[in-house]
Structure 1
Amino acid sequence: MSTLRRRRGRTALVAGSGLLLVLSGCADDSAGGSSPDEVRMLVNLTDNLDQSYWEDLVRPFEEETGLDVKIEGPTGKSVAETFPQQLAAGTAPDVIQSIFPDDDTAPELLDLSDLDWVADTPMVEDYALGGSRYVVGVGSQAQSLVFYNKTAFDEAGISETPTTWAEFTDVLGQLDDAGYTPMQTAGQWQTGLQLQQLFHPTLNTTHPKWQTAVTDEELAVGDAYLPMFELYADWLEAGYVAQDDVGLDPSTADGNFVAGDVGLYPNGSWFLATLDAAGELPFEVGAFSPPVDEGQPYPGPQGATMADPYMIWQGSGNVDGAQQLVEYLVTDEAAIEAQLRADGIFRQGTTVEQTPLGEEVQTIVDDAPELAAVGEGSGDNRLPVTGFNPKFTEVVQGLYTGQTPEQAAEAIDQWISESR
């Protein structure tokens, strides 16, 4: 079923592209690419990754090569929305940042596999499609982290971070007894994502490349996640996770932790930026990798996503310049350091100077036996469906309203069966 779905997507794009080539032949030739001395790069613009950040990042490259890098933000809501629109209009940029190839866009992208500098970039094999490397990145965002309040641990008499689920549950109880919110969560996307973040190391130890196993109908997601649903339901019943947290905005949850009222807060490495922005806190923050099942090696695989990914449009009018720019962005030491510092990004083995908490996270990333694909997966290791994360969040939130773990497992399996 999944193979047929992927083939349909690819065929539709190729057919559409052929029609658009005919139409774009009547348009201005400059619309579909760059001049030999220019490279257009479509980037995700945010509060911290703004226009000036990107221009500063590429300026040394421009000075060294004489090429002019034109930074462009999305014309739609996001790069993910804008890039397909630009492909359809024949106005795609040379370099695309922040999104990943899929079965629809891969035929339009340059295969980077034969470039000698590509193999050493982070997670490049995890995002390969059909053995081809269409995307390279600067580092990874660690997904499976548990931030904790060290003062709360001291007052609760907790001397070590937990490594098994039994120890984790005991820690929640001790924090509760000490008067702290044991574990903070929130509504919207965070409810489901947080449960996944906690379970990534265990799940990827028990079922390596579990997304592929689901696609091959060798594993049911409900069976894989049932143990975590059961744990989570127990924590809800015990009050270790507040029932009304499901109604909180994630920024409010961040604020609760920053205020010092919370013991544990599972989150991704991007939370470091929030903590840095908060300034000096009245307590010390630590981080650890989530627990694993009794008898499993600790730490387990670290759930992660490629960070600052870059792709090249194969229809570019300046493929050579685009290759030079991407190579600079993912291999130049100064460029790597600037990007790692900007957005909570980590790279295994890096020597970039970090804050003390950043050093803890870097150690977690370095000590992980592997970086594992999250959610729907990546590259060829993918679920046979799209929209998994929103549906998973909906299922987890059902545990707050009386759904049993078994019903949650059945609900996610039914959705996957219907959505294949």
Structure 2
Amino acid sequence: MSARFRRGAIGASALGLVPVLALTACSSDDGGASGGGDQVRMLVNITDNLTQAKWDELVAPFEEETGVDVKVEGPSGQSVAETFPTLLAAGTAPDVIQSIFPTEDTAPEILDLSDQDWAQDTPMADLYSTDGTINVVGVGMQAQSLLYYNKELFEQAGVAEPPTTWEEMDAALQALEDEGVKKPIGFASEWATGVQVQEIWHPQQNVTTPGWQQAVAGGTSTLGDQFQPVFEHVADWIDAGYTTADDVATDSGTQEANFIAGDVGIYPMGSWFTTTLAASPPDFEVGIFAPPVDDAADHPGPMGATMAFPYMVWNGTQAKDAATQLVEYLVTDEDAIAAQAAMDNFNREGLDTSANPYAGQVQELLDAAPSLVVPGNQTVGDFALPVAGFNEKFTEVAQGLWQGTAPADAAGQLTAWYDAEAAG
């Protein structure tokens, strides 16, 4: 095993891995359902690309190095988010939990990793911490503030460079419209609408109000005030015909296919879209740029991003040392990181992106961003809104713009919803 992403020497000591006898001595020899001895239970998300076999292969080097038996388990319910609280209530919680974040109810059950030096250096650990407490760590990040564009259509429309300001963005969309591009900018239905509108707005929002979630929670701003400006931009694009009501009736898979077919000029979407592009490369060159801001001097603005492959350790585990060292291996070992990146796309400084040039473009934008910021649906940490259900409500309100809802009315709906939820 290697430790390219860790400071210091490479090897078991650099990873904090110790002989199995030491692990056994530090852990309970209770081999019951909650782990213990030299067995660690890990609850993970199982999908078409995150298969049981791939998970077993991922942890095999750790098992060989330490002698710890890692038992990988999929959800007993529909998801890890549903299964973990159920297992907690039954007293059979796993030692390590993957793919979800602490909630208000589960946070007291999660081990504090703040005293682990390696945890401090993991991607976005600071943005997911609460009052300095780190109880979830990730392998990488998924960038969200991204606009994919068709370079061929830009050239045909006479747009020499990607826009950096809202004024330039409007001009680029008008040029694409004048050129006869079917969809100058493409949005999609269901969850995608709300995510896309937020992705476009992350940079300017955090230039105007850094830590805007705290401003809303503290009462110095309203949720509607935070999003009315982007609602106005989108409404202007709808009025101009750059995006139509058909967009919010078109699922993201179809809209992505439309982009790949060359029918869409600009497509807002997170970094996960690079996997689709790499699997089905378009016949044209794809560029990716950061969303516009008011003043070109502020471009690029802060990059919206989320933690990828999050891991937590159950505080009640009888195999605390082994479980913690397993998580350390998963988020710091070079080979483990690369294996997880192959399972599901994410970015991380130093990660080899040669197999996916689109992911390489995303990493360049991440490197150029002055900071990373979290979106409104953040559920943990100092930048989490104190309400649940933000994304669902935001999507509902945003989709109303395509049905004629005025931006000020949409903003008012957001504020009214937040105030009601915050009041309990």
Give the TM-score, by structure 2 length.
0.90
Aligned to 2:157: 156
Given that 2:244 and 2:402 are in contact with CA atoms closer than 8 Å, whether structure 1 keeps it comes out as no
1:296, CA displacement in angstroms?
Answer: 4.8
Which moved further from structure 2: 373-382 or 151-160?
373-382
Alignment of 1:35-50 (within 5 A): 35-50=36-51
The residue aligned with 1:184 is: 186
Q: Is the 8 A contact 2:98 2:309 kept in 1?
A: yes
State which of 192, 195, 203 in structure 2 corresponds to 1:193.
195
Shift of residue 295 of structure 1? 5.1
Secondary structure in 2 matching 1:204: helix
Over the residues paired in the alignment, what is the CA RMSD in angstroms? 1.4
Question: Relative to 1, partners in 2 of residues 1:178 and 1:67: Cα closer, same or farther, differing over 3 Å?
Answer: same
Residue 398 of structure 2 corresponds to residue 390 of structure 1 = no
SS at 1:169 equivalent: helix
Residues 214 and 384 in structure 1, CA contact (< 8 A), matched pair in contact too: no
Unaligned runs of 5+ in 2: 1-29
Residue identity matched to 2:81:
A
Give per-residue Cα distances to partners, 1:226-255, cap 9 Å, x unaligned.
111111000001110122111111111111
Using the alignment, how far apart are the partners of 1:56 and 1:319 within structure 2?
22
1:150 to partner: Cα distance: 1.2
Matched-pair contact (CA < 8 Å) for 1:399–1:405: yes
Q: Distance in 2 between matches of 1:102 and 1:130?
A: 15
Give how far 1:225 is off: 1.1
| 1:96 shift after superposition | 0.3
Aligned to 1:412: 414
Q: How far, CA to CA, are the matches of 1:352 and 1:61 in structure 2?
A: 24
Instruction: Show the counterpart of 2:267.
Output: 265
* Aligned positions of 1:261-340 closer than 5 A: 261-278=263-280, 280-294=281-295, 296-340=297-341
Q: May I ask how many residue pairs the two structures share in their alignment? A: 391
- 1:345 alignment partner AA: F
Check whether the contact 2:278–2:356 (CA below 8 A) recurs between aligned residues: no
Report the counterpart of residue 226 of structure 1 in structure 2. 228
TM normalised by structure 1 equals 0.90
Deviations 1:317-361 (A, max 9, x none): 211110111010111111112222332201134455352222111
* Residue number in structure 1 paired with 2:358: 357
Q: CA deviation at 1:161?
A: 0.5
Q: Is the 8 A contact 1:143 1:304 kept in 2?
A: yes
Task: Give the conservation status (yes or no) of the 8 Å contact 2:245–2:402.
Answer: yes
Q: Which digits, 9 at most, give the CA deviation of each residue in 1:38-90, with x for residues without a partner?
A: 11111111211111121111111111111111111111111111100110011
Pairing 1:403–2:408 present:
no
Report the equivalent of 2:52: 51
Matches of 1:132 and 1:186, distance apart in 2: 37
Moved more, 37-46 or 406-415: 37-46
**Equivalent AA in structure 1 for residue 279 of structure 2:** A
Structure 1 counterpart of 2:137, one-letter code = V
- Structure 1 position 131 matched with structure 2 position 93: no
Give the Cα separation in 1 of the matches to 2:92 and 2:332: 28
- The separation in 1 between residues aligned to 2:109 and 2:171, in whole angstroms, is 52
Q: Please say if residues 310 and 326 of structure 1, whose CA atoms lie closer than 8 Å, have aligned partners that are also in contact.
A: yes
Name the structure 1 match of 2:211: 209
Displacement of 1:384 in angstroms is 2.2
Q: Which amino acid aligns with 1:361?
A: V
Asked if residue 250 in structure 1 is aligned to residue 242 in structure 2, the reply is no
Secondary structure of 1:46's aligned partner: coil
- Consecutive unaligned residues of structure 1, counting only runs of 5 or more, are 1-28
User: Any conservation in 2 of the 1:211–1:376 contact (CA below 8 Å)?
Assistant: no
Superposition map of 1:60-71 within 5 A: 60-71=61-72
Deviations 1:186-225 (A, max 9, x none): 1101111100000001101111111111111111111121
CA contact (8 A) 2:278 2:358 kept: no
- Aligned partner of residue 36 in structure 1, secondary structure: coil
Aligned partners of 2:150 and 2:265 also within 8 Å? yes
> Is 95-104 or 348-357 further displaced after alignment?
348-357
Aligned ranges 1:159-170 → 2 under 5 Å: 159-170=160-171
Identity %: 55
